[in-house]
């Protein structure tokens, strides 16, 4: 062992081994992996080794697809067998809603490039898996690229392939302490001290402690998980091949062949956390006693689904643990505020996702940015709130127990909530507000007319449809009041504030007393933010964006900060309300002590609103004239009351974000995570409209210019009018032209005030032509759609500016 390495990877499970391999593959060979015991000694040795291509998140699906492709490669490269059995796989639906969802998911998979799957009838599925009972099943989906691997062989294959490329690993070497140094990290092990630039926490079940060694609280916890391996099944002895990997969604089980028996794994409804502070250091390659009482219901489902199990015994029980984050996705990337400390933790399906995680992290470390959009697994998608133990217990438990439970798009899940509420929350609840959650914050969805109203979970338009419609019409016809605590706000000050903003934003900066839409780009010219910059005219600047990106954006700002600039996240100090609609000016004029009502479009300034010292901006996301009134947290209740009283004669109505989403679609306004992501460019999304090409250097300029002056983007964002009857597009549905897939929906919904279903979609540039007749799948059914001019409501923006 040397005393210096460029990188030390802590943990020799499948994830650490993959990180080591990818670092070496991308050219960093001065790297070592330290394993306290032997390779695989955490969760990895006893995993079921299942791999499958399907994931509803396209970025996770891409990561899984990469891993599956890689497996055969590392087997070849290392010479180590990984025992790959590509049996193909079935996912079975047992309720009408689930079958509808599966048909809809199938279309989404097509959209995101998973071509090797198809819907199958129950008969076909049972022919593919003859030990499966058809009882209660309605249909299924087949995918070619599913199967399983030998877990120990796979970890060793990564490690051997890494070694062949110049990396190294040491077993029986435990990391005991970490200290940040000027150059990077001092890694104290039981075999001596190593200095390095970067450390990677890939400690799996021990990730919590390895985080705490550097003062980091990772939002993750291990949970227990069972599978059984049956004795030999006579029917399988006679079968020439193997049964496919089969997931029975309504039964909470997955099954694959194991020798001439089967492995039946269970997602446990009554989940059990284990070692929330990380596994004990004394924990070896052990298993827990099986807890059949706890999983009785799922076992009964499994034994009924595969009746042959009733005829043979259980050869082995495995009850082991693996780690989960609150949303079940990995926690990957640079840990905010800890230079050179990288997370590769909470990888729930290491054999399926480990390859992609290793690639992403290695690219990030070596090139500064991963190639693909890594938001879905970025460690910075959580803030400090997620370090809370109860939050972790509730959210990881909810994810685990609901792993195979169908979640409807309009369903609000309870775990970890309510956590943060804006001060007017209780008064709004009394007024009928129904809440969703963004990051840690409760955000208003809509206001129910009666306390008895219950929104039914559905894939289609819900029974809240008319309520949201009325809120939209209230905004277009009068004035709506929206709690905008769920926007992020960052204050930028200091002598170099303006120069810094000018460098990191691609737009022109606003003059004093003005605000401006500002795309922020990465060095590669892809989007990093759809922000609004405010110049308050007193040396203070604000950046406003999406609330749930707070930790992610702050990491970016801090990592790119200049001397003489201070940036502060105002998310715990400032909140507010917006007024929008033709009568909004009349309302603000009644309460403002100064000429706030006279602010020009995109003007901003400090005003006294009643007795509140507020910062007001003349803008809205609805396409109507509007004012965003930012106040201190302590003023929120009074501000709401005052605006409601002042607006009573104007028919003011409180509205929620569901209305805002409908109204912004009628204006073709994009939002982050839908129309704008790190994977997209300004040219694709129309963000190039806001770029100040003539202003000189800014981050991402060369790449953006190359897109502008080159062949242009391959796909462009368009607005579609969809001939949909009882459901609307929601995202990632395929867009077709004469049976050829030409794009996908980024978001969709009903335009309540125009009475039409709309979608925004990224389509091949040649198809992005007004009047083009296309089609879109909506909840599994193909619907006619045509490209229309952007902003079907008030295309000239007169209402907004007027
Ligand atoms: C019953 C069961 C079934 C599963 N089935 C599947 C499946 O079908 N498909 C799938 O993809 N996944 C499955 N998994 C999940 C899979 O096991 C995990 O996703 C994967 O093993 C995580 O790998 P890892 O490298 O992150 O962590 P681990 O395997 O836990 O590895 C972490 C390593 O770090 C080492 N370490 C920790 N601290 C230190 C330190 N201080 N110094 C040095 N070394 C340290 C540990 O000894 C350990 O070897 C299953 C898990 C279980 C429990």
pLDDT tens sequence across 153-207 = 999 999 999 999 999 999 999 999 999 999 999 999 999 999 999 999 999 999 9
- In 254-371, which ranges are continuous DSSP H helix? 296-305, 350-367
CA 560 from chain centre, in angstroms, equals 24
169 touches ligand 1 (CB under 6 Å): no
pLDDT recorded at residue 111 = 87
355 touches ligand 1 (CB under 6 Å): no
Ligand 1 center from residue 349 Cα (angstroms)? 9
Residues 494, 496, 499, CA angle at the centre, nearest 5°? Answer: 140
- Whose tokens are 């089980």? That residue is 253
Nearest-angstrom CA–CA distance, 680 and 615: 32
13 touches ligand 1 (CB under 6 Å): yes
Nearest atom (ligand 1) to Cα of 345: 26
Residue nearest atom 12 in ligand 1 by C-alpha distance: 349
Ligand 1 center from residue 158 Cα (angstroms)? 14
pLDDT recorded at residue 114 = 84
Nearest-angstrom CA–CA distance, 529 and 492: 16
**Percent of all residues in the chain with a pLDDT value above 90, rounded to a whole number:** 96
pLDDT band at 113 (very low <50, low <70, confident <90, very high): confident
295 touches ligand 1 (CB under 6 Å): no
pTM of this structure: 0.97
263 touches ligand 1 (CB under 6 Å): no
CA 601 from chain centre, in angstroms, equals 33
210 touches ligand 1 (CB under 6 Å): yes
255 touches ligand 1 (CB under 6 Å): no
Sign of the torsion angle spanned by Cα atoms 206, 209, 213, 217:
positive
Nearest-angstrom CA–CA distance, 125 and 120: 6
Residue 534 pLDDT more than 90? yes
Please write the tens of the pLDDT for every residue from 697-728. 999 999 999 999 999 999 999 999 999 989 99
What is the chain's mean pLDDT, rounded?
97
Ligand 1 center from residue 200 Cα (angstroms)? 15
Nearest-angstrom CA–CA distance, 776 and 111: 11
279 touches ligand 1 (CB under 6 Å): no
In angstroms, the Cα distances linking 532 to 315, 317, 516, 680 are 61, 56, 6, 19
350 touches ligand 1 (CB under 6 Å): yes
Nearest atom (ligand 1) to Cα of 320: 53
Ligand 1 center from residue 209 Cα (angstroms)? 15
Ligand 1 pocket mutation pick from 9, 169, 177, 204 by most atoms within 8 angstroms of CB:
204
Nearest-angstrom CA–CA distance, 126 and 143: 15
Q: Which of 94, 105, 96 is nearest to 133 (CA)?
A: 94
Q: How many CB atoms lie within 10 A of CB 140?
A: 28
pLDDT recorded at residue 802 = 81
pLDDT recorded at residue 195 = 98
320 touches ligand 1 (CB under 6 Å): yes
* DSSP character at residue 655: -
Ligand 1 center from residue 16 Cα (angstroms)? 9
Ligand 1 center from residue 180 Cα (angstroms)? 26
174 touches ligand 1 (CB under 6 Å): yes
- Compute φ and ψ for 235, nearest 5 degrees: -60, -30
CA 474 from chain centre, in angstroms, equals 32
Ligand 1 center from residue 171 Cα (angstroms)? 15
The interaxial angle of helices 465-477 and 657-666, nearest 10 deg, is: 60
Q: Looking at residues 294-315, what average pLDDT do you find?
A: 97
Residue nearest atom 34 in ligand 1 by C-alpha distance: 11
Residue 54 pLDDT more than 80? no
Q: Looking at residues 597-614, what average pLDDT do you find?
A: 97
Residue 112 pLDDT more than 90? no
Ligand 1 center from residue 546 Cα (angstroms)? 34
Residue nearest atom 4 in ligand 1 by C-alpha distance: 47
Residue 691 pLDDT more than 90? yes
Ligand 1 center from residue 70 Cα (angstroms)? 19
Residue 394 pLDDT more than 90? yes
10 touches ligand 1 (CB under 6 Å): yes
Nearest atom (ligand 1) to Cα of 174: 42
Least confident of 108-117, 272-281, 434-443, 732-741: 108-117
pLDDT recorded at residue 52 = 87
The answer to whether 719 touches 787, Cβ cutoff 8 Å, is yes
Ligand 1 center from residue 12 Cα (angstroms)? 9
Q: How many CA atoms lie within 13 A of 68 on its CB side?
A: 22
- Compute φ and ψ for 149, nearest 5 degrees: -125, 165
pLDDT recorded at residue 232 = 97
Nearest-angstrom CA–CA distance, 244 and 263: 11
pLDDT band at 787 (very low <50, low <70, confident <90, very high): very high
146 touches ligand 1 (CB under 6 Å): no
Nearest atom (ligand 1) to Cα of 322: 53
Ligand 1 pocket mutation pick from 21, 351, 358 by most atoms within 8 angstroms of CB:
351
Nearest atom (ligand 1) to Cα of 16: 25
Nearest-angstrom CA–CA distance, 643 and 481: 8
Sign of the torsion angle spanned by Cα atoms 201, 206, 208, 213:
negative
pLDDT band at 57 (very low <50, low <70, confident <90, very high): confident
pLDDT recorded at residue 95 = 97
pLDDT recorded at residue 56 = 73
Ligand 1 pocket mutation pick from 350, 354, 403, 404 by most atoms within 8 angstroms of CB:
350
């Amino acid at each position: 062992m040397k005393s210096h390495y460029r990188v030390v990877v802590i943990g020799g499970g499948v994830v650490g081994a993959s990180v080591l391999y990818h670092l070496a593959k991308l050219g960093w060979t001065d790297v070592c992996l330290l394993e306290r015991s032997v390779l695989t000694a955490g969760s990895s040795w006893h995993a079921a080794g299942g791999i499958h291509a399907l994931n509803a998140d396209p970025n996770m699906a891409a990561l899984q697809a990469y891993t599956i492709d890689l497996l055969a490669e590392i087997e070849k490269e290392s010479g180590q067998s990984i025992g790959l059995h590509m049996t193909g796989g079935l996912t079975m639906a047992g309720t009408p809603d689930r079958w509808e969802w599966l048909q809809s998911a199938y279309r989404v998979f097509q959209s995101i490039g998973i071509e090797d799957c198809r819907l199958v009838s129950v008969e076909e599925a049972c022919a593919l898996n003859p030990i499966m009972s058809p009882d209660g099943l309605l249909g299924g989906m087949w995918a070619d690229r599913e199967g399983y691997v030998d877990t120990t062989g796979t970890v060793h294959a990564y490690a051997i392939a890494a070694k062949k490329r110049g990396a190294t690993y040491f077993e029986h070497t435990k990391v005991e302490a970490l200290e940040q140094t000027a150059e990077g990290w001092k890694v104290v092990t039981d075999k001596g001290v190593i200095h390095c630039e970067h450390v990677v926490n890939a400690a799996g079940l021990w990730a919590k402690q390895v985080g705490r060694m550097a003062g980091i609280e990772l939002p993750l916890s291990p949970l227990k998980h069972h599978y059984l391996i049956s004795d030999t099944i006579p029917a399988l002895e006679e079968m020439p091949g193997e049964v496919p990997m089969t997931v029975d969604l309504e039964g909470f089980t997955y099954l694959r062949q194991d020798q001439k028996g089967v492995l039946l794994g269970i997602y446990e409804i009554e989940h059990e956390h284990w070692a929330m502070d990380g596994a004990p250091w004394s924990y070896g390659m052990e298993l827990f006693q099986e807890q059949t009482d706890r999983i009785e219901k799922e076992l009964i489902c499994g034994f009924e689904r595969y009746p042959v199990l009733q005829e043979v015994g259980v050869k082995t029980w495995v009850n082991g643990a693996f780690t989960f984050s609150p949303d079940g996705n990995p926690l990957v990337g640079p840990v905010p505020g800890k230079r050179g400390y990288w997370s590769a933790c909470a990888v729930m399906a290491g054999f399926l996702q480990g390859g992609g995680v290793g690639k992403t992290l290695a690219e990030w470390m070596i090139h500064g940015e991963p190639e693909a959009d890594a938001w879905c697994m970025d460690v910075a998608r959580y803030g400090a709130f997620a370090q809370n133990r109860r939050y972790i217990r509730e959210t990881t438990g909810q994810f685990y127990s609901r792993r195979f439970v169908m979640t409807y798009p309009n369903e609000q899940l309870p775990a970890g909530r309510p956590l943060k509420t804006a001060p007017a929350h209780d008064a709004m609840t009394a007024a009928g507000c129904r809440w969703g959650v963004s990051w840690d914050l409760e955000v208003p969805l809509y206001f129910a007319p009666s306390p008895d109203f219950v929104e039914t979970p559905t894939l289609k338009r819900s029974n809240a449809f008319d309520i949201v419609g009325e809120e939209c019409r209230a905004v277009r016809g009068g004035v709506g009041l929206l709690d905008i605590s769920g926007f992020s706000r960052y204050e930028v000050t200091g002598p170099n504030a303006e120069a810094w903003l000018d460098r990191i934003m691609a737009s022109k900066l606003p003059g004093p007393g003005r605000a401006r839409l500002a795309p922020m780009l990465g060095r590669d010219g892809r989007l990093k933010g759809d922000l609004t910059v405010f110049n308050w005219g007193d040396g203070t600047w604000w950046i406003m964006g999406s609330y749930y990106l707070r930790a992610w954006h702050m990491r970016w700002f801090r990592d790119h900060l200049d001397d003489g600039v201070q940036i502060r996240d105002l998310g715990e100090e400032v909140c507010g309300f917006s007024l929008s609609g033709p009568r909004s000016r009349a309302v603000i004029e009644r309460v403002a002590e100064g000429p706030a009502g006279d602010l020009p479009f995109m003007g901003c300034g400090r005003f006294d609103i009643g007795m509140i010292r507020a910062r007001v901006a003349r803008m809205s996301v609805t396409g109507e004239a509007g004012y965003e009134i930012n106040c201190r947290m302590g003023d929120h209740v009074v501000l709401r009351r005052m605006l409601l009283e002042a607006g009573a004669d104007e028919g003011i109505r409180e509205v929620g974000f569901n209305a805002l989403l409908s109204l912004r679609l009628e204006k073709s306004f994009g939002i982050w995570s839908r129309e704008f992501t790190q994977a997209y460019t300004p040219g694709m999304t129309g963000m190039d409209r806001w770029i100040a090409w003539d202003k000189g250097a800014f981050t991402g300029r060369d790449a953006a210019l190359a897109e502008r002056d080159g062949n242009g983007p391959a796909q462009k964002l368009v607005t579609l009018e969809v001939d949909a009857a009882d459901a609307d597009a929601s995202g990632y549905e395929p867009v077709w032209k004469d049976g050829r897939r030409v794009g996908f929906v980024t978001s969709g919904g009903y335009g309540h005030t125009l009475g039409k279903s709309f979608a925004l979609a990224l389509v091949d540039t040649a198809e992005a032509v007004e009047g083009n007749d296309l089609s879109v799948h909506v909840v599994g059914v193909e619907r006619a759609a045509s490209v229309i001019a952007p902003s079907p409501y008030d295309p000239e923006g007169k209402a907004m500016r007027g």
